[in-house]
Amino acid sequence: MLSIPSCDENPGSVSTGADLRSPSAATPAVSEYDSARLLRGRREILIRHGGECYRLRHTRNDKLILTK
């Protein structure tokens, strides 16, 4: 089983998300991201938001679960 680092263990690896967006002339009101592109082959990722750390998991039942 892979060990998932906490948000505090590797703060230098935080992505700005710029590499996830498709370039376009006008930015839509709501952006859409493909989960496979976010997860990049992993089952879990950590997301920092508002000073808090959240875990996004892809389950065996092909569901996404976001927990604090």
User: How far is residue 32's CA from residue 9's CA, in Å, rounded to a whole number?
Assistant: 29
Instruction: Provide the pLDDT confidence category of residue 60 given band limits of 50, 70 and 90.
Output: very high
Residue 58 lies in domain: 35-68
Higher pLDDT residue, 61 or 28? 61
The answer to whether residue 55 sits within a structural domain is: yes
* pLDDT score, position 29: 86
Q: What is the domain count for the chain? A: 1
The answer to whether residue 29 sits within a structural domain is: no
**pLDDT digits over 7-55, tens only?**
766 544 545 455 565 555 676 688 899 999 999 999 999 999 999 999 9
The answer to whether residue 2 sits within a structural domain is: no
- In this structure, what CATH number is given to the domain that contains residue 58? 2.10.70.10
The answer to whether residue 47 sits within a structural domain is: yes
* pLDDT score, position 12: 46
